[in-house]
């Protein structure tokens, strides 16, 4: 059973004067339990539309999806998910602590379990000190961290995060990456959208690239990086101790090494030169 299974998901928005936007054009995607999948795409690609369909916030025009084998329309599917919206908005006349107690009760938590989990996630998200301050006095990054705290609170099996790193400074981003890796270690499934390639390279097992409502590539991060080998950097030492570095294509590699050895020079290092995830992403989306 997949943690997340999306079959032929499509969404057409109908606007004024019969104007339609085909935001999703039939997406098929499965994510395993214990897997971190980065859902990568430029602005307007269809990431939030996919996530809103999964969370039942909008209805797909065609297709279906399940979470841990349960239809996304069911209450059971929703309770097994931790969801972070793209622009989380909270009851800002509550403190972070009050808000988390409210969320926990909505998930059926109470008593010691609820107060213990509140304390744990407030500490994990570095919100313990300001926990009694009203959310309206928080900075943008703090509000984003309240969003992540409510995602983690009920310890669900599946996490659907819409741009979890947005609005965070480098320290906050590192914290989120650490949280995602910790969820992975604990066998959870994390599906998160982003347009930042570096986030994907560091924490994901697989990447799904979406553009204009269509999935363009779904593959393991290491395959994508290997596929993008541009050549090899060869470091060659001369007899006088000087080092020369040359970048050569795969077809010339053997010849360059043989020639250098025949000339009495040593090969110090041969390293593949890979395309970055960013270059790969820009190729896919056609820039």
Question: Which residues contribute to the site for ligand ATP (CB under 6 A)?
Answer: 13, 15, 21, 23, 41, 43-49, 86, 195
Nearest approach in angstroms of CB 41 to ligand ATP is 5
HSE (side-chain half, CA atoms, 13 Å) at 231: 10
Nearest approach in angstroms of CB 197 to ligand ATP is 13
Contact 46, 210 (CB under 8 A): yes
Contacts of 171 (CB under 8 A, 6+ apart): none
Of 48 and 80, which CB lies nearer to ligand ATP in the complex structure?
48
Nearest approach in angstroms of CB 176 to ligand ATP is 17
Q: Terminal CA-to-CA distance of the chain, rounded, Å?
A: 37
Q: What is the largest CA-CA distance in the chain?
A: 77
* CA nearest to 155, candidates 99, 116, 207, 98: 116
Of 44 and 272, which CB lies nearer to ligand ATP in the complex structure?
44
Nearest approach in angstroms of CB 164 to ligand ATP is 13
Nearest approach in angstroms of CB 173 to ligand ATP is 17
Sequence-ordered alpha helix ranges (H) in the chain: 47-54, 75-79, 96-106, 111-124, 140-152, 170-185, 197-203, 221-227, 250-262, 277-284
Of 95 and 144, which CB lies nearer to ligand ATP in the complex structure?
144
Of 195 and 265, which CB lies nearer to ligand ATP in the complex structure?
195
Of 62 and 249, which CB lies nearer to ligand ATP in the complex structure?
62
């Amino acid at each position: 059973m997949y943690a997340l299974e999306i079959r032929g998901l499509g969404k057409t928005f109908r606007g004024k004067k019969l104007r339609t936007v085909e935001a999703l054009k039939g997406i098929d995607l499965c994510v395993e339990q214990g897997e971190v999948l980065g859902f990568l795409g430029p602005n307007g690609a269809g990431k939030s539309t996919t996530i809103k369909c999964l969370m039942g916030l909008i209805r797909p025009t065609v297709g279906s999806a399940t979470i841990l084998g349960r239809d996304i329309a069911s209450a059971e599917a929703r309770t097994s998910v931790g969801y972070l919206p793209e622009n989380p908005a909270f009851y800002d006349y509550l403190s972070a602590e009050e808000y988390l107690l409210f969320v926990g009760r909505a998930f059926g938590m109470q008593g010691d379990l609820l107060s213990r989990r509140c304390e744990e996630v407030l500490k994990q998200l570095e919100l313990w000190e300001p926990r009694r301050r009203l959310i309206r006095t928080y900075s943008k990054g703090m509000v984003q961290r309240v969003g992540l705290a409510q995602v983690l609170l009920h310890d669900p099996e599946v996490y659907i995060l819409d741009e979890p790193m947005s609005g965070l400074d480098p320290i906050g981003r590192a914290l989120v990456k650490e949280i995602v890796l910790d969820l992975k270690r604990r066998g959870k499934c994390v599906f998160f959208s982003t347009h930042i390639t570096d986030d994907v390279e560091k924490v994901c097992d697989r990447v799904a690239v979406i553009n204009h409502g269509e999935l363009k590539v779904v593959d393991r991060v290491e395959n994508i990086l290997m596929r993008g080998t541009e050549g090899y950097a060869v470091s060659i030492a001369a007899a006088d101790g000087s080092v020369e570095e040359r970048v050569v294509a795969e077809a010339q590699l053997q010849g360059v090494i043989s020639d250098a050895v025949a000339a009495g020079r040593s090969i110090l290092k041969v390293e593949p030169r890979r395309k970055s995830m960013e270059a790969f992403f820009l190729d896919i989306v056609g820039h």
